[in-house]
Amino acid sequence: MQGRRRGIAGALAALLLGVACSHTTGSAGDGTPVAMPPSAPVIEQAEWRISAHPSGNIGPMSKRELRRVRAESLPLRRAVTEVYDALFLDPAARPAVLNKRFAARAARALPARSGVPASVEKVRTTLRKADIGIDASGARRAAAKVKIRARGIASGERFALLHRGTLWLEKKGGTWKIMAFDVRQKRLR
Amino acid sequence: MKVRIALLCAFVAAVASVVPLIGPSDGQAASLVVGRARGTFQPRQGKVFVLVIGNDARSGNPDRSLADAIHLVGINTRTMKGGILNFPRDSWVSIPGSGAGRINEALFRGGPELLARTVHSVTGIRPDYWVMVGFDGFQDIIRDIGPVTMTLPRAIYDPYGSGANLRAGRQPLGAVKSLAFVRTRKVFLDGDVARTTNQGRYLLALLRKFRGEIDRKPASLLRWMTVTRRHARLNVGAGDLYRLGVLASQVRPADVGNVTLPVSIGTAGAASVVFIQDGARTIYERFRRTGAL
């Protein structure tokens, strides 16, 4: 009887540890694995809740316009998740993403302190939400409202923050780029 | 007992691995707080000027109409401050290549481009863009974007002129009331000067509404763009209009001065006109230098 109990206990422990380990793989919410810096353990992140919809139309849209908007929906979702993954989960990728996803002036204007610092040890996003409006006539411009809540440890100190961002995007050379932004980030208690 | 302890340890280890960071923050990570940061496009020399024209055509935006509303709107993209310089329509000026005349005649003589050149020759400030709207277009814009809230210091009743019948205080102005408000001049002692100042105030109320909507839903900028392009005539491409919209959304109405050119009443031949006073030069200079008033 005691041997059986030990067996069950062992199995449960193994199961729980297995569950714990399985969460360390992490994802960007869209199924893309997040590349974390070697120093930071990978932790399960909040699922991205993204809505992308046509905006700016007066009256019904033509089939062509609808097709264009639908075609840009995925690239836009990707642009937003890429930027925020770099700001919050993968500081090492930040320069490359800034270069790829921001217009030069906008990249220069983005404060180094937005998102988490490069010294982050652990971070866990508890909310990742974006609402993207895509220009109904042409789908070459878009505006996104993003909200991120995160907790973590940086330089041995715990932090919790709320980030709200408005991103103004334009499609340049086949790539969605942020040409302007308005970000507000504050510490949570 | 050993089994329970083993289970508890395993559970704690598992939970700790999954949610290691939940719990009250000690709030020491001040370096993570950025407050508010903005990045926007930077046009030449960090300033942008837009000439806003209201013509007197009842429908459409024909070239051969008079400009009843002439406003040079400036934004300094570094300080995010701005200004609205209002031109009384009867201002007697030199119209490039067309002799002297009231400034509103420049539109009739050469369309918005000539009016922009006239404003340039008067002020030394070259408008980067112009936007023009007539009576119908103006009302259609307000119908599409919704009423504009304004606070009137006193009631306006002008049954035989603009048709305005507006009470004092804060109120939403729909398409018809908005047009009546921006047209009213006969009931004011200083007539067109008061009207053009009120038009500037209306533009500020419009900016307030615009910012409120953008703040709630940034993508509403795309709707404002569609509405503007549909009902107004402008020399702004879609890309520039988008950037201008983004820029405007970042300017607080309180940081935008509404200044009407100082004028004195006079005559030119048989025509009753107003002459821009010398004091205007310092206004032009400040506006040209800073993009704000």
Provide Rg for chain A, Cα atoms: 20
Inspect the interface and report whether the beta carbons of B26 and A157 lie closer than 8 Å. yes
Pick the most confident of A34-43, B98-107, B262-271. Answer: B98-107
Of the candidates A106, A107, A159, which has its C-beta nearest B25's C-beta? A159
Is the minimum CB–CB distance between B153 and chain A shorter than 8 Å?
A: no
Report pLDDT digits (tens) over B41-58: 666 678 999 999 999 988
**Residue A42 scores a pLDDT above 90:** no
Residue B167 is given by DSSP the state -
Q: How far apart are CA A186 and CA B232, in angstroms?
A: 40
pLDDT for residue A53: 94
Query: Hey, are the CB atoms on B219 and A56 less than 8 Å from each other?
Result: yes
Count each helix (H run) and each strand (E run) in chain B, helices first: 8, 15
Tell me what the mean pLDDT of segment A19-36 comes to.
40
Region A25-33: what's the mean pLDDT? Answer: 40
Identify the pLDDT of residue B2.
Answer: 56
Mean pLDDT, to the nearest integer, of A19-33?
Answer: 38
pLDDT of residue B160: 86
- Tell me which residue range forms the domain holding B212: 44-147+190-290
Question: Is the pLDDT at B24 greater than 50, yes or no?
Answer: no
pLDDT at A104: 87
Token pair belonging to B146:
């919704």
Average pLDDT over residues B146-169: 93
Q: How confident is the model at residue B177 (pLDDT cuts 50, 70, 90)?
A: very high
Q: How confident is the model at residue A55 (pLDDT cuts 50, 70, 90)?
A: very high
The confidence score (pLDDT) of residue A5 equals 57
Torsion of Cα atoms, A29 then A30 then A32 then A33, to 10°: 10
Please report the pLDDT score of residue B3 as a whole number: 55
Query: Which chain B residues are Cβ-neighbours of A131 within 8 angstroms?
Result: 217, 219
- Count residue pairs from A and B with Cβ separation < 8 A: 198
B267 bridge partner residues: B272
Is B25 close to A158, i.e. CB distance below 8 A? yes
Q: Is the Cβ pair A133, B226 closer than 8 Å?
A: no
Q: Half-sphere exposure of A175 toward its Cβ, with a 13 Å CA cutoff?
A: 13
Q: Is domain A2-187 annotated with CATH 3.10.450.50?
A: yes
Which residue out of A158, A176, A186 would a mutagenesis test of the B interface target, given it has the greatest number of B Cβ atoms within 10 Å?
A: A158
ipTM value for the complex: 0.77
Total domains, chain B: 1
Residue ranges of domains in chain A: 2-187
Contacts of B6 in chain A (CB under 8 A): 9-10, 13
Report the pLDDT value the prediction gives residue B32, as an integer from 0 to 100: 55
pLDDT for res B178 = 96
With CB atoms and an 8 Å threshold, state whether A136 touches B25: no
State whether B34 and A185 contact (CB < 8 Å). Answer: yes
The CATH number of whichever domain residue B207 belongs to comes to 3.40.630.190
Neighbours of B191 (CB within 10 A): 16
